[in-house]
Each structure stands twice: as structure tokens, then as C-alpha cells.
């Protein structure tokens, strides 16, 4: 039971943490040009958006859950974790950030999932 809960926490909470960063950046504004000063001021403004800190906290929870899971499970679970996070990311993008994921993008995301799973399996 505990490994399953930790698996859920790592994939869902970890990916959702990144989605919160995405939300914070969307609320802050857009990088209009590739200029270091402009980028720095955008990031500085982003630090004042609550979603950044919620995202960082969620990513930290996911990281420590990963360490905990690694202490009693083998690394084989890394395959589903890394592959599933792309699907969780796309679903979160749609429902949390209001993004439109076209069939072509879905196909690309599925291929990335399969490719990443192959790479992780090959490395074992």
C-alpha cells in the first residue's frame, strides 16, 4: 500500500508542482525578448506569486517521497514514474492551466512516454 501511495505522490504531486510553476509564470507575464535584464525582472516578479512557493513545496514533497521509496524498493519503479509523469503533465496542462492539447500533441506525448520508458529499461 505504502509504495503505491508514494508512487502516486511522486508522479502526481511532483508533476503538479511543475504545473504550479507554469501557473505562476503565466500569471506573471510573458518573456517578451531574450534579454537578461528583462528575464531577471520577470523571475523577480514571479517570486511574489503564491503558486511558485506552492510548486516548490510540492516538488520538495515529491523528492523526499522518492528518497523514501528508494530506501525500500528497487529502482525498477522509475520506469512507470518517468513515463506516467508526461501523461499527468498533459492532463494537468488541460485542467489546471487551460491548455489545448491537440491530437497531434497527444501523439507526440505518447511517443515521448514510450521512448523515455525504453531508455530507462535499457539503462537497467
Partner 1 sequence: MFPAQCQVSSLVYHGLRRTFQALIARMHSRSHLKTYFLIAVMVIAGPIGNLLLAKGMKQIGEVHYWPPSELLPVFIRIFSSLTIWIGIASLIAFVVSFMLALSVADYSYVQPAAALGYFVIAVLGVLVLHEKVSPLHWAGIVVICLGVSFIRGTDPRTTESTN
Binding site for partner 1 (CB under 8 A): 18-19, 21-22, 25-31, 33-34, 39, 42-43, 46, 85-86, 89-90, 92-94, 97-102, 104-105, 107-123
Outline where 29-102 has alpha helix (H): 36-46, 50-72, 78-95
Instruction: Assess contact for 89 and 33: CB atoms under 8 A.
Output: no
CB of 79 to partner 1, least distance (A): 11
Q: Give the 3-state secondary structure of residue 24.
A: helix
**Nearest partner of 86 among 63, 124, 112, 52, judged by Cα:** 112
Nearest CB to partner 1, comparing residues 4 and 102: 102
Q: How far is the CB of 28 from partner 1 (least distance, A)?
A: 7
107, 72 contact by CB (below 8 A):
no
Smallest distance, Å, CB 57 to partner 1?
Answer: 16
User: Is 15 or 65 the residue whose CB approaches partner 1 more closely?
Assistant: 15
Pull the grid cell for residue 86.
Answer: 508526461
Nearer Cβ to partner 1 (3/105): 105
Q: Minimal distance in Å, beta carbon 6 to partner 1? A: 21
Amino acid at each position: 500500500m505504502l509504495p503505491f501511495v508514494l508512487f502516486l505522490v511522486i508522479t502526481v504531486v511532483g508533476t503538479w508542482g511543475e504545473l504550479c510553476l507554469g501557473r505562476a509564470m503565466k500569471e506573471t507575464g510573458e518573456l517578451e525578448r531574450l534579454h537578461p535584464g528583462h528575464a531577471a525582472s520577470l523571475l523577480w516578479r514571479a517570486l511574489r506569486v503564491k503558486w511558485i512557493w506552492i510548486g516548490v513545496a510540492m516538488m520538495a514533497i515529491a523528492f523526499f517521497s522518492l528518497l523514501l521509496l528508494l530506501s525500500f524498493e528497487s529502482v525498477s519503479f522509475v520506469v512507470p514514474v518517468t513515463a506516467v509523469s508526461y501523461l499527468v503533465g498533459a492532463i494537468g496542462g488541460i485542467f489546471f492551466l487551460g491548455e489545448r492539447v491537440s491530437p497531434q500533441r497527444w501523439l507526440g506525448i505518447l511517443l515521448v512516454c514510450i521512448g523515455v520508458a525504453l531508455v530507462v529499461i535499457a539503462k537497467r
